[in-house]
Structure 1
Amino acid sequence: MSTSRIIQLAQLISSQTSLIDQHLQNNNLPEPSFNQDGPTEPIQNETPDIQKAKTDVIEATIELRQLLEGPMKLVLPESNFTPLVAIHRFKIASHVPLDSTISFTELATKCGLLEHDLKRIIRYTAIHHRVFFEPTKGFVAHTAASRLIAENPIAGHLMGLTFDECWPAHNHAVEAISHCSTSANISGYSIANNTGSLNTFQYLSAHKERATRFAFAMATTSKASLDALSTHFPWPELSATGGGGRSLVVDVGGSKGHVSLHLARTYPDLRFIVQDLPEVIDGAADQLLSSLAQDDAAIKDRIEFVPHDMFKEQTVKNADVYLLRYVLHDWGDEYCIDIIKNLIPALKRGARIVVQDHVLPEPGTMGLLQEMQMRSMDAIMMSLFNSREREAEEWRDLFKQADERFGNVIVNRIGENGSSGVISAEWLG
């Protein structure tokens, strides 16, 4: 007798959750918890098998819920982020004591809000997002999620990016799409902020506080992503071409230099020039120097910061690599081609343009969770920049359109069916 899909999913959830639970017990690790002292990383010391088990459980849980709730819920999901935005905007988490409770009355006074508004904000986020809970009627305490907001500055940067920049842009993205324009200043973001002729980055440049927050949010790069860049391009072979010297990497759009720093630590035979707009790299060298451990002191002599607009001709000639890490997905095709063309006058024969960026899958070739994340990122690019993520062949087409003298464009996907890749093109002109 055949087993129904909902039973198959339930059995998968049960079996894979047992593997995760056994992993936690065998390694004496804390179990996931909503309590304020619960682990920020829910499953620690993950092995590849445990990572797969966790993904299997999440995907099966999503599908099972969707099947049981039915198609009407699929087209009418819960989508009100206002209470979470309020938690962020009014810094409510910072006013809740870490190891005790506070009354709605006192908390409302501290936040400068009406008590009945505060109460419904917290009760919404508590039930929908596990942000705060009410241990005794009328009193508020932290959960793991609300404590993260209160203590972790990275969470603050990311919430600022999500709720102050992305959320208003999403609300106007459909209007932007109706213009059928490829212009960078016709986006949900530009309409939401009334930027006029300015694109998103130009607008941010004129609003330093928002630009700084945006840069910090972008700098919250996982070590795994940086390690992937280190291993999915043959940097050691490049450094061997230096003839006893150091090969030069130009980190175009390199922000505060965190990517160059990672590569410099890994490859001592490379030196780096980090390029970005003046307001972006302002103070970056001092920040980098202050972050270096004593053992890293020599690295500062191998990383230089130079202001440069990538929409103008490249000023650093004859480098070995021009690196564009998560830069091109912020721009539509015509802009990307312009960026690449501006590098060409600086290229020596054999120089490489190296791109680390997302590589969209063919539909259905990735797991549910991974493809959902990829399609979400593509939608964010549409809202913020009127840009897009690209499939492997579309990356190759960009270089072909820019100049036929680029050699074979290698798209090296990170991991089996990975969501990102390292793309490299050799200049043969």
Structure 2
Amino acid sequence: MAHPSVTRFTDLANKISRNTAIITEYLTSKSLPATSFDVDGLAELPIPPEDNVAIQARLDLAAATKELHDLTVGPKQSLHDLSWDLSSLSLRFIWEFNVTACVPLNESISFPDLTARISTENDNRPLGVMNVRRLLRHAMTNRIFCEPTKGYVAHTRSSRLLLEDEPLKNWIGFTTKDLTLPVAHTVDAMKKWPCSEEPNETGVNLAFGHNTPWFQFLPSDPVRSKRYNLAMQAHGETAGYDMKDVVDGYPWGDLPENAKVVDVGGNQGYISFAIAERFPKLRFVVQDQASMRTPETIGVVPEELQARVELTMHDFFEPQTELGAAVYFFRMIFHGFSDKHCVKILRALAPAMRKGGKVVINDGALPEPGTATYLEERACRTLDLFMQVVVNAREREADDWTDIFSEADRRYRVNRVWRPKGNVMSFIEAEWTGE
């Protein structure tokens, strides 16, 4: 009888075969192509979120292929490879020198000619053919560019994305330029400021040599700030962050006629606009700091929504000025703060609450270990680390939300925590039980 470790190989192979068949049959039945690294190939599988069977097959296939790969390589080689993966180096080079714009879209170019072109596009900075060649050949191991003929470089679908997708291009710039040093300094920050919950005692502060919290530091550098905003746009466009999931994921339609929803920290109101369009009986007050309400930054409420949506100023660490709303809505706010600061936000909100009023949070909620697919858990755990790196904040499990509300005020009662299927974001609903 085969050892269980051997049969695991067969189980995974069968799972890969089964889920591949589901996806290929789905695509074939709809006459759709699959993704491809060909320069004109699809960048994403054309499976909409509502096609649950095919979506689940994609998630299961990704998990099974990753596990089979890791088992085939083995734990020893996996650890070795993980510790010295220098993909961010070749990506940083491509982004920093705008290499994608120097490679013709539908033909190849020799390494010497490409090196000369990159140099010309970067103030005639000398680079050397050898450096360009080795960096791009490393990127090619991740299917970014290809070498169709020895000594010649051509685009793949991945490198073309870095040429044409501006938010994704800025995501690469943010992660490889702005985040690499803070990540490298995060463990040192943990040693210097043990168990810190302060947003100015992070890897960012050690890396850049200042004591300003990240979100106050960003506006001081307009170039970095713009890059970050576009990077967040790219992140928000990935699977599981769709605005549609906010509209569909909470029972807004169950709120009473003319109910007031306060969108706390709601930026320019894009989420409120989407909910208001779907649910015309609701009113919205969108709050954000004064810096988001200047003539240079303030957005415009669509004309058809101006009677029901208002953009106002409010600092959520100060006592809430909108009293007795049906819902106080926070989207992607709490994960940017440590527990002590989240408690402060909820305490500042408490005086405005009325019996039966709801606090609805659309934020991360970490899954119980082993309950999510590989792609979902990887995304959640990575985001959790990102929040530690930049602001000493974190993603939270369901029990953590209960603890935070309870510490803020015993009159808050967490009704439920749920994550819509296929979504990275969760909903946390708490109710005010006081008067």
Q: Match of 1:227?
A: 244
Question: Comparing 250-259 with 40-49, which one deviates more in the overlay?
Answer: 40-49
Offset, 1:27: 1.4
Q: Match of 1:163?
A: 176
Q: Match of 1:189?
A: 204
Q: Match of 1:210?
A: 224
Q: Match of 1:119?
A: 133
Offset, 1:170: 1.3
Offset, 1:417: 9.3
Offset, 1:285: 4.2
Equivalent residue in structure 1 for 2:277, among 265, 269, 276 = 265
2:135 maps to a residue whose letter is I
Offset, 1:394: 0.8
Runs of 4+ in 1 over 6 A off after TM superposition: none
Offset, 1:60: 1.1
Indicate conservation of the 8 Å contact 1:255/1:281, yes or no: no
1:233 and 1:16 map into 2 onto residues whose CA distance is: 31
Q: Match of 2:122?
A: none
Residues 158 and 232 (structure 1 numbering): CA distance in 2 closer, same or farther, change over 3 Å? same
Q: Deviations over 1:219-261 (max 9, x none)?
A: 4535864333223333223242x3xxxx332222222322122
Indicate conservation of the 8 Å contact 1:98/1:142, yes or no: yes
Look up the SS of the partner of 1:215 in the other structure.
Answer: helix
Equivalent residue in structure 2 for 1:133, among 134, 146, 149 = 146
Look up the SS of the partner of 1:390 in the other structure.
Answer: coil
TM-score (normalised: structure 1): 0.89
Q: Match of 1:304?
A: 310
2:131 and 2:291 map into 1 onto residues whose CA distance is: 39
Matches for 1:3-402 after TM superposition, within 5 Å: 4-45=7-48, 47-76=51-80, 77=82, 78-80=84-86, 81-112=88-119, 113-114=126-127, 115-127=129-141, 129-178=142-191, 179-180=193-194, 181-196=196-211, 198-220=212-234, 221-222=236-237, 225-240=242-257, 242=258, 247-282=259-294, 283-286=296-299, 288=300, 297-402=303-408
Q: Match of 2:414?
A: 409
Indicate conservation of the 8 Å contact 1:361/1:419, yes or no: no
Look up the SS of the partner of 2:179 in the other structure.
Answer: helix
TM-score (normalised: structure 2): 0.87
Q: Match of 2:428?
A: 423
Residues 99 and 353 (structure 1 numbering): CA distance in 2 closer, same or farther, change over 3 Å? same
Q: Deviations over 1:199-221 (max 9, x none)?
A: 11111132233233323333453
2:10 maps to a residue whose letter is I
What are structure 2's unaligned runs of at least 5 residues?
A: 120-125
Offset, 1:336: 0.5
Question: Comparing 315-324 with 332-341, which one deviates more in the overlay?
Answer: 315-324
What are structure 1's unaligned runs of at least 5 residues?
A: none
1:49 and 1:104 map into 2 onto residues whose CA distance is: 45
2:168 and 2:246 map into 1 onto residues whose CA distance is: 24
Residues 227 and 169 (structure 1 numbering): CA distance in 2 closer, same or farther, change over 3 Å? same
Offset, 1:401: 0.6
Indicate conservation of the 8 Å contact 2:265/2:333, yes or no: yes
What RMSD over aligned residues (CA atoms) do the two structures have, in Å? 2.4
